[in-house]
Copies of this chain bind each other. A is one copy, B any other.
Amino acid sequence: MALSARPVPHPGDLPHCATGNPRYGRGMQSRTPAPRTAGRPRSAAADTAILAATRDALVELGWSKLTLGDVATRAGVAKTTLYRRWAGKNELVVDAVAELFDELQLPDRGTLADDIEGVVLQFAAILARPEARNGLMAVVAESCRDDALRERIRSSIVDRQKRLVLEGRERAQARGELPPEADPEEAARTVDLIFDMVAGAVVHRTLVSAEPADEAWVHGFTRVLLTGLAGTPPG
């Protein structure tokens, strides 16, 4: 018969993620691919089912009314399985939401303005999905009191997308639309500033003002971002 369960290594362990599975796995994703151990491997299907069920629950219930027991039922797994893989609600939702943002791309449309409009529209399309809105805002709110969670959000979501700003600037500089950067430190600050302005404006428009970031809005936003307030006479 099975032996008694050994003490659960739950709080703060580095697990053996066979698949691209979560639980402190996203943060340090440049690890050795598989610290294999013997025994029954974790079901990869359970991971995807749980994350999908989390997004569904976010749509129907929102953050505060989402319970882990309900997610487990939706995913067809036991509640204990869920707790074996994630430390709590915050971590689960971060992983469930992070997957949504990995589809962002920066297709080359020929000009800086068109590149910006394109990626901002993609970002707006993701934020238009209720699971993205509910989940992202909730974990950001929670991260105010939880440094580990904020770092997890930053590495899983924010920093991953900052590549888009870098890529767009390089293209614009190659085209001659933007001057080359002399001071690399200043350049890094500018990248952060632009990212905050773009992401912040779209988030605020979508969530606080609660109006769609459609093509017309994105066009106006891009014009202000590129030429400034005074440079946009309505004529």
**By the criterion of a CB under 8 Å from any partner CB, how many residues of chain A are at the interface?**
63
Q: What number of copies of this chain does the assembly contain?
A: 2
Interface positions of A from 175 to 217, Cβ below 8 Å from B: 177-179, 181-183, 186, 189-190, 192-197, 199-205, 207-211, 217
* Residues on the B chain within 8 Å of A63, using CB: 141-142, 145
The distance from the CB of A211 to the nearest CB of chain B, in whole angstroms, is 8
Contact of A178 among B62, B130, B229 (CB under 8 A): B229
Contact of A144 among B62, B140, B204, B225 (CB under 8 A): B62
When the two chains form their complex, are residues A140 and B207 in contact, meaning their CB atoms are under 8 A apart? yes
Q: With A201-B197, A234-B186 as given contacts, are A142 and B64 in contact (CB-CB < 8 Å)? A: yes
Stretch at the interface among A13-21, A24-32, A42-50, A131-139: A131-139
When the two chains form their complex, are residues A196 and B178 in contact, meaning their CB atoms are under 8 A apart? no
* Residues on the B chain within 8 Å of A194, using CB: 224, 229
The distance from the CB of A168 to the nearest CB of chain B, in whole angstroms, is 10
* Residues on the B chain within 8 Å of A209, using CB: 154, 158, 192, 195-196
When the two chains form their complex, are residues A144 and B158 in contact, meaning their CB atoms are under 8 A apart? no
Q: With A140-B137, A144-B62, A190-B220 as given contacts, are A205 and B210 in contact (CB-CB < 8 Å)? A: no
- Give CA–CA (A150, B190) in the complex, Å: 33
Most buried by B among A63, A224, A229: A229
